[in-house]
Amino acid sequence: MSRPGLLFYCQHALGLGHLVRSMALAGGLAEQLGVVLLNGGQMPPDTMIPAGVQVVNLPALGYDRGFGLISHDPDLSVDQAKEIRRQCLLDTLHRVDPKVVLIELYPFGRNKFSFELEPLIEAAMARGVDRPRLICSLRDILVTRPKGQLRHDDKVVQRANGRFDAVLVHADPSFVCIEESFQPAIPLTVPVHYTGFVVPPDTGEQPVTGGPALRRVLVSAGGGMVGEPLFRAAVAAHGEVARRLGLTTTIVAGPFLPDTAWAWLQAEAAGSATLDVIRRVDDLRAEMQRSTMSVSQGGYNTTMDILRAGVPAVVVPFADGTEDEQTRRSDRLATRGVLRTIPADQLGAERIVTELCALATFRPRPAALDLTGRETSARLVAEIAGVSR
C-alpha cells in the first residue's frame, strides 16, 4: 500500500446504518490514507465502494430478532465463522501494517464481537512504539442498559484506557453529548473528539424515479430487516392517504427485507393504483426531496437524510428490547420542531393517517446541526496518525 494504511473495522448486525456511515467515513479518509475496510455484515448487492477503499468481506455475522449471533453463510456455523474471521483480522493487520486501526463502536458496544476484536487490539498493541494508533468511531447516541449500565460503562473504560488513542463521536455536542448515555465511575482518560454528524457526499445523480417532484408519501426503513411492521401499517393506510390528501405511497423496502415480505409488498402494489414499491435506492435523500412527505424509522443515516432533504417527516423509531437510540434521537428533533414521531407501540394505519394529515400544515424547522463529520473525522485521524494534510 503506497500511502499510509488505515484498517477500518465495521460490523452492522441488524440494519445498514453502521455500514452506510462507515462507507462515508472511509471515503473521506481515503483522500489521505490507504483504507482497508473490514466488513463484518452482509454486503448488499451494488453497494457503492468509495474510491481508494479496499473492502475485505468477513464471513457475515448478524443478529436475530433476539439479538443472538447468526451466520449469514449457510455453509458456516457461527463458531466456524468466528474462527475464520478472527484469523482474517490478524492476517489483514499484518498485511496492511497500518498507521491507524479505526474500530466502529467497540468497546462501547459490539461486546459479542470481542472474540475477534480483543485479539486484533492486542496484536496491534504488541507492536510497541511503532504500533498503529487505535481509534474508536462512535455514533451520536449509545443504547442504554436498564440493568448493569454502570458495570458496562466501567468495563468500557477498562478496555479503552491505556489502549485507545482517541474516541471520535460523530455528533454535534450542541445536540447530544456522550455523557448523557455513558456515565462510568472510572474516569475515561482517552481524548474524546466531536466531529459533527457524518453524511455522504452529494452524488449529483438524479433520483431513480426521475422527473419533477411527486405528490407522494415516501416510506422507508433503512436496510428493511426490521421494517415489516411499518410497511404493513403504511400499506393499510395508503388508500385513506390517497383519499384524504391526494397522495400516492411509495415504499422503499430495503435490501434486507425478508423475501416473503417483499413478495407481499409487490402483490399489494400490483393491485393498487396508489401504491408503488421499490427494493432499494442509491440516494434516499434525493428521493425524499422529490416527495411531499416522508415516513420512516429513525436511524442515524435516515435522520440525516431527513434533515438535509428538509421534507416534512414522521418518524417511527425502532424500539425492540432495550433499543432506545432511535427514540431518543427522534424525540429530541420533535421537541425542536424538526419532525413528528409515532412511538413504535402506537404504530397503526389510523395513526399514520392522522400524522400525515397533520404534516399537511407542518413546516419543519431547520435543525442547525453540524454535518461536517466526514471531513472533520478525516482531518482528526490524519492528525492522530501524524499524516500531514
The tens digit of pLDDT for each residue in 32-59 reads: 899 999 999 999 888 889 999 999 999 9
Same domain, 231 and 158: no
SS3 164: coil
Please state which of the ranges 12-16, 182-186, 302-306, 381-385 shows the lowest mean pLDDT: 12-16
**Type of residue found at 347:** L
Backbone angles phi, psi at 308, to 5 degrees: -75, -30
Domain of 42 in residue numbering reads as 5-198+371-385
Cα 68 → chain centroid: 19
Query: What is the structure's pLDDT at 139?
Result: 94
Rounded to a whole number of angstroms, the CA Rg of the chain reads: 21
pTM > 0.75: yes or no: yes
Give 344's DSSP letter: G
Pair (26, 138) in one structural domain? yes
CATH number, domain with residue 98: 3.40.50.2000
Residue 345 CA, distance from chain mean position: 22
Quote the number of domains for the chain: 2
166 with 247, same domain: the answer is no
Q: Answer yes or no: is 84 within a domain.
A: yes
- Rounded Cα distance between 3 and 32, Å, is 8
Q: What is the pLDDT of residues 50-105, one digit of tens each?
A: 999 999 999 999 988 777 899 999 999 999 999 999 999 999 999 999 999 999 99
Query: Could you tell me if 342 and 352 are in contact, meaning their C-beta atoms sit under 8 angstroms apart?
Result: yes
Residue whose C-alpha is closest to residue 330's, from 322, 341, 319, 320: 341
In a domain, 208, yes or no: no
| Cβ pair 221, 254 in contact under 8 A | yes
**Whether residue 338 sits in one domain with residue 379:** no
**165 and 73 in one domain?**
yes
Q: What is the pLDDT of residues 313-333, one digit of tens each?
A: 999 999 887 788 999 999 999
Residues 131-142: tens digit of each pLDDT: 999 999 999 999
Mean pLDDT value across residues 110-130: 95
My answer on whether 280 and 241 are in the same domain is: yes
Same domain assignment for residues 193 and 54:
yes
State what percent of residues in the chain have pLDDT above 90: 84
Q: Is residue 312 part of a domain?
A: yes
The answer to the question of residue 206 being in a domain is: no
Q: Is residue 113 part of a domain?
A: yes
Asked whether 138 and 178 are in contact (CB, 8 A), the reply is yes
Cα 157 to Cα 169: distance, rounded to the nearest angstrom? 15
Q: What is the mean pLDDT of the chain?
A: 93
Kindly report the CA angle at 69 between 88 and 331, in degrees rounded to 5?
A: 110
Residue owning grid cell 422529490: 290
Is 121 in the same domain as 255?
no
Instruction: Quickly count: other Cβ atoms within 10 Å of residue 72's Cβ.
Output: 13
Judged against a pLDDT cut of 70, whether residue 206 lies above it is answered with no
Establish if 255 belongs to a structural domain. yes
DSSP code, position 65? T
Cis status of the peptide bond prior to 258, with omega within 30 of 0: no
Q: What span, in angstroms and rounded, lies between the C-alpha atoms of 369 and 170?
A: 12
CB-CB contact of 274 with 238 (8 Å): yes
Question: Strand 61-63 relative to strand 69-71: parallel, antiparallel, unpaired?
Answer: antiparallel
- Position 308 in a domain: yes
Segment 255-288, tens digit of pLDDT: 999 999 999 999 999 999 999 999 999 899 999 9
| One domain for residues 144 and 52 | yes
**What's residue 126's pLDDT?**
96
- Residue 349 and residue 379 in one domain: no
Which residue in this structure is represented by grid cell 455484515?
A: 41
**170 in the same domain as 33:** yes
> What is the tens place of the pLDDT at every residue in 220-256?
999 998 999 999 999 999 999 999 999 999 999 999 9
For 347-382, write each residue's pLDDT tens digit.
Answer: 999 999 999 999 999 999 999 999 999 999 999 999
291, burial (CB in 10 Å: exposed 0-12, middle 13-18, buried 19+)? buried
Instruction: Please state, in angstroms and as integers, the Cα–Cα distance from residue 142 to each residue in 2, 99, 325, 348, 354, following that order.
Output: 36, 27, 6, 28, 31
**pLDDT-derived band of residue 207, with 50, 70 and 90 as boundaries?**
very low
Please determine, for residue 145, whether its predicted confidence score (pLDDT) is greater than 90: no
Residue 209 has pLDDT above 60, yes or no: no
pLDDT above 50: residue 208: no
Question: Does the structure show a pLDDT above 90 at 387?
Answer: no
Single out the residue of 350, 348, 351, 349 nearest to residue 340, CA to CA: 351
Both 116 and 23 in a single domain?
Answer: yes
- Residue 248 within a domain: yes
